[in-house]
Amino acid sequence: MTGSPADPSTSSPACPAAAQRGAEGFRLGNEILAFRFVATLGERRADPVERIATPERLRAWLAANGLGGTDTPVTEALLRDARELREAIHRAGTAVACGGVPEAADEELLNRWGARHRARLSLCGGQAQWHLPDADPARAALAVVALDAVATLGGQRDGVLKRCEQATCGGLFVDTSRGGRRRWCSMATCGNKVKKANLKASRDCAGAGAAPEAASRPGAASRSGGASEAASGAGRQGQPA
């Protein structure tokens, strides 16, 4: 079985139209395949959003990342195994990002998945393309994800592994920016959320400070006092002598 063109371990693949339609709702902007898989559970620090709730959605994610087609068979059992793999990648990646090492159980799980790797990467028309075995292709596709995680967590990539700083995300990314100043897993999503929140907070502060500032301007009190005296004088003029 042949996957979509491009190497999903280094970039988002150029997907067929059917795969692109099925990719709606997935976050595919992360440069690391394994961390795109981690992002199938969103809003980890708030109300988690499950993006592979069914076997069909897992199939769609694999197809969108060049790992199989829209007809790749996926079972409920494989979906459970896939989620277990995803969470092991997230835990291990979080440990590394925090300066530690993964738990032995998570390393063992990733290594077991990696040992199942049977996909072949070949050059087709100038593009790298995954070829999956006919027997259990979806499981072989997930083994590609596991190997990508092993390579990334094991320091086989340039850059620094970090956790996204957006308050509700909890995603992972590799910072290859000059000076190591990248803060978010995706500028298009988490980065924009942070900037919009900061802009709203700034506007709210400006609005809250506008009224007190106007009241404290020089002359405001005297003008107010003068108006009160004028009103009081008018009232006295109207009173009988």
Cα atoms found within 13 Å of the Cα of residue 200, Cβ hemisphere only: 6
Q: What is the pLDDT of residue 194?
A: 82
Average the pLDDT over 61-80 and give the result.
96
- Of 39, 30, 25, 40, residue with least CA distance to 9: 30
Handedness of CA 152, 154, 157, 160 (dihedral sign): positive
- The pLDDT value given to residue 2: 65
By DSSP bridging, strand 49-50 and strand 41-42 are: antiparallel
Strand ranges for 119-194 from DSSP E = 120-124, 127-131, 160-163, 172-175
Tally: H helices and E strands in the chain: 8, 7
Mean residue pLDDT across the chain: 84
Given a cut of 70, is residue 169 above it in pLDDT? yes
**pTM, to two decimals:** 0.76
Q: What region, left, alpha or beta, does residue 135 occupy, with left being phi > 0 and alpha being psi -120 to 50 degrees?
A: beta
Q: What integer is the mean pLDDT of 91-101?
A: 97
Lowest mean pLDDT among 16-25, 38-47, 146-155, 204-213: 16-25
